Amino acid sequence: MTGVDTKQAGTPQIIDGKYPVVRELSREGNVTLYEVQSAQGQGTPRQVAWFDIATPADRQSFHAYRTALRAVAPAGLSDVVARPGAYYAVWQPLSGTPLAELLSSGVKKRQETIDAVEALAAKLADHGFALEDADIVVSAEQPSVAYLRPTAPRSAPDLAARNAPILGALRGGRVRRKRQPGAWLTFVPGLLLLAGAGWLGAQAAQIYLNPPVAEVARVIGSEAANAAGQLTRAGFRVEYTYGESAGAAVGAVIRQEPDGGTALPIGRLVVLTVNKPQPLVVPKLEDLTLAQAQAPLKDNALKLGKVVRVDGTASKTPEGRIIAQIPPPGSSSQRGQPIQVVVSTGIRGEETWIADLRGMTFEQAREHARAAGLVVTTWTKQPSDRLPNTVLAQEPAPFERVTVGSPVKLVLAAVKYSPPTAPAAPLPIPPPYVPPQPVQPAPDPAAPGQTTPGQPAPGQPSPEGTAPEQTLPTQNAPAPGTSSEVPAAPPTPEPAPAAEPSVPEVPEGAVVADPSQTRQVNLNYTFPSDLPAGTYTISVLDADGEREIMPGVDAAQVAGRLAQAPQAVRGDAVFIIRRDGNEYTRVSPQ
């Protein structure tokens, strides 16, 4: 059963998420009576009559039962729920004496009790119920319905036959008083009233048993108010529930119960489920053009509504830009709802000027431009030593008067890569390989033609003036006629001189600067008269690196003028002129 949680088939645990089941009391047809705890889990137990709705006839029977409950207004009725998947009535216990116990006690009944029970019987009969269909308790001489059993409508003769035993037993213990002459006339109004009530009851039963039937119109996709009007004009009652469907418009009917084309008695209930999705956040469209606004609207399942064009002079909004929107940004809206916008028609012939944006961040520059009635339309990146996204140049120039709404172009700083200012030192060259010299053999003193150190050569006088000693020939002396010279030792190869590092040739007349010495050079440069617009700086590059010697100056201030400056440098030097951070030209020092 929808709305009843179960652990196993046929054993319900909780009804509609709030009534825990204690036990099952009875089951008649499609109606099951349960004893349940209260919704808060405290207090006395209650009874729930649960209806299993499987066919349109079951649904009609329940709605007839609910109509009777509303008319009778039983004291024991706590709640009646009728929605798709959950049809039930909740009953609470009443204190008092049950009517059956009162009838069997034999105690004389007071006239007030008898009259009240008879009135209750007539009230129940008007809706097709007998006294035996109700659990009645009597308290303070007044009967109350503690529980009314669902049953098929009974005919008037059947009702009279079923109520006669109970009413007869109720009147059986009453003491009849002696009638006065003419007292019977007092019963005439009552008899007339009873006859009229009977006739009205019969007519009501006839209408209830044979109500006019009409076909339920199909209203799915229609707007809820229109669908409800169409159904109420056909004689049906309408209730709303809410759901969500991405493909339907907000406020449209996405389901109906019973379905369109069903034959239903006049006066019965038709439940309509209306599309009501979760709210969405409205995006900000201000300062955008209509074309640019389409993307955020599409992303949030919204659409562009009415467009109102107004003069943008007061708000300083350029032509074609959105000034305001309805609903405002950040508010809640439903899927598919239109967003109305107010678009500027432009600013009437006003002029403005823009401040010097150089050195600002991109966000700061854009806010300054907007305050001046201008719009930043384009920006480019340029390598620079400044922080990223810092404004290096702008167009229009600072303090230039322009028409309100004019575009502004910015040049922003990007990360700059700087190569090393001095070349890296070369790796040391290893010394050339030198082979070891061979060892010379010691000279033989006995060999002819050789002299020992300190001994004069043959044929030369002795240092002391004495004649040299004559050497006798030995056994190993060479024979006469043969040469006495000893072969000379093989020549020892001279080691090759070490290779010297190559030195680049210096052209004639060129002067090579000593990197370790400081010298004075001069800058002499005349800027062209048609110098391109921009900011110009001058720096010198020498052995110590590059350094700026003239800060940024506007082109209008230096065009056609001569730049002269002495500068102390080390090593080779050159002057570099830059425009907006980019190299413009190089000038050799003098």
From edge to edge, which strands make up the β-sheet containing 303-310? 303-310, 338-344, 322-326
The beta strands (E) that lie in 4-123 are given as 4-8, 11-15, 19-28, 31-36, 46-51, 77-83, 86-91, 97-98
Residue 176 in this model has a pLDDT that exceeds 50: no
Q: 216-225, 313-322, 579-588 — which is least confidently predicted?
A: 313-322
Instruction: Provide DSSP, 280-349.
Output: EEPPP-TT--HHHHHHHHHHTT-EEEEEEEE--TTTTPPTT-EEEEESPTT-EE-TT-EEEEEEE----S
Whether 304 and 283 have beta carbons less than 8 Å apart is answered as no
Mean pLDDT across 553-563: 87
Instruction: Provide the pLDDT confidence category of residue 557 given band limits of 50, 70 and 90.
Output: confident
The predicted model gives 106-117 an average pLDDT of: 78
Alpha helices in 472-590 (DSSP H): 555-558
Structural domains for the chain: 14-172 (3.30.200.20), 213-275 (3.30.10.20), 280-344 (3.30.10.20), 351-414 (3.30.10.20), 518-587 (2.60.40)
**Span 148-152, average pLDDT:** 84
| Range among 18-27, 196-205, 222-231, 446-455 rated most confident | 222-231
State how beta strands 332-333 and 280-281 pair: antiparallel
How many Å apart are CA 253 and CA 256, to the nearest integer? 7
> What DSSP state is assigned to residue 533?
S
279: which DSSP letter? P
Q: 392: which residues sit within 8 A by CB, 6+ positions away?
A: 358, 382, 384, 386, 411, 412, 413, 535, 580, 581
- Residue 321 CA to residue 18 CA, distance in Å, equals 56
Residue 468 has pLDDT above 50, yes or no: no
Share of the chain above pLDDT 70, in %: 76
**Confidence at residue 272, expressed as pLDDT on a 0 to 100 scale:** 93
pLDDT at 413: 93
State how far the alpha carbon of 452 is from the alpha carbons of 442, 485, 490, in Å: 11, 16, 21
Q: Are 410 and 379 spatial neighbours (Cβ–Cβ below 8 Å)?
A: yes
Give, for 71, the enclosing helix (H) or strand (E): helix 56-72
Please state, in angstroms and rounded to a whole number, the distance separating the CA atoms of residues 215 and 56: 13
**How many CB atoms lie under 10 A from the CB of residue 53?**
19
Helix axes of 156-172 and 187-209: crossing angle, nearest 10 degrees: 140
CA 475, distance to chain mean position in Å, is 121
- Pairing state of beta strands 518-526 and 562-570? antiparallel
SS3 119: helix
From residue 287, alpha-carbon distances to 351, 409, 417 in Å are 20, 17, 37
Q: Which of 187-196, 209-218, 337-346, 385-394 has the least mean pLDDT?
A: 187-196
17 closest CA partner among 86, 99, 111 = 86
| Alpha-carbon span 45 to 66, nearest angstrom | 22
Neighbour-count burial of 464, counting CB atoms closer than 10 A to its CB (0-12 exposed, 13-18 middle, 19+ buried) = exposed
Q: Highest mean pLDDT range out of 33-47, 167-181, 398-412?
A: 398-412
> DSSP characters for 122-181?
HHHHTTT--GGGEEEEEETTEEEEEEE---PPPPHHHHHHHHHHHHHHHHHTPPPPPPPT
Strand order in the sheet with 407-415: 375-384, 407-415, 391-395
Predicted confidence at residue 428, as pLDDT, reads: 58
pLDDT at 183: 53
pTM (2 d.p.): 0.31
Q: What is the pLDDT of residue 358?
A: 93
Residue 115 has what pLDDT? 83
Residue 144 CB burial class (10 angstroms; 0-12, 13-18, ≥19): buried
Beta bridge partners of 321: none
Residue-wise pLDDT tens digits, 425-437: 555 556 666 677 7
Q: Is the pLDDT of residue 6 over 80?
A: no
Would the CA dihedral through 396, 398, 400, 402 be positive or negative? positive
How many helices (H) does the chain have, and how many strands (E)? 9, 31
For residue 201, what is the enclosing H or E element? helix 187-209
The 8-class DSSP code of residue 99 comes to H
Distance in angstroms (rounded) separating the CA atoms of residues 459 and 463? 12
Cα 216 from Cα 262, distance rounded (Å) = 5
The reported pLDDT for the residue numbered 186 is 66
For residue 489, what pLDDT band results from cuts at 50, 70 and 90?
Answer: very low
What residues are paired with 332 via a beta bridge? 281
Identify the three-state secondary structure at position 384. Answer: strand
Mean pLDDT of 327-340: 86
Written as one string, the DSSP assignment of 225-274 is HHHHHHHHHTT-EEEEEEE--TTS-TTBEEEEESPTT-EEETT-EEEEEE
3-state secondary structure of 380: strand
Q: Point out the least confidently predicted range of 176-180, 522-526, 561-565.
A: 176-180
Cβ atoms 272, 229 nearer than 8 A: no
Residue-wise pLDDT for 55-110, tens only, equals 888 888 888 888 888 888 888 888 888 888 888 888 888 888 888 887 777 667 77
Instruction: Give pLDDT tens digits for 152-174.
Output: 878 888 888 888 888 888 776 44
State yes or no: pLDDT of 253 exceeds 90: yes
Q: Is the pLDDT of residue 410 over 90?
A: yes
Indicate if the pLDDT at residue 507 is higher than 50: no
Mean pLDDT, residues 303-331: 89
Over residues 187-207, mean pLDDT = 76
> In whole angstroms, what is the distance from residue 190 CA to residue 187 CA?
5
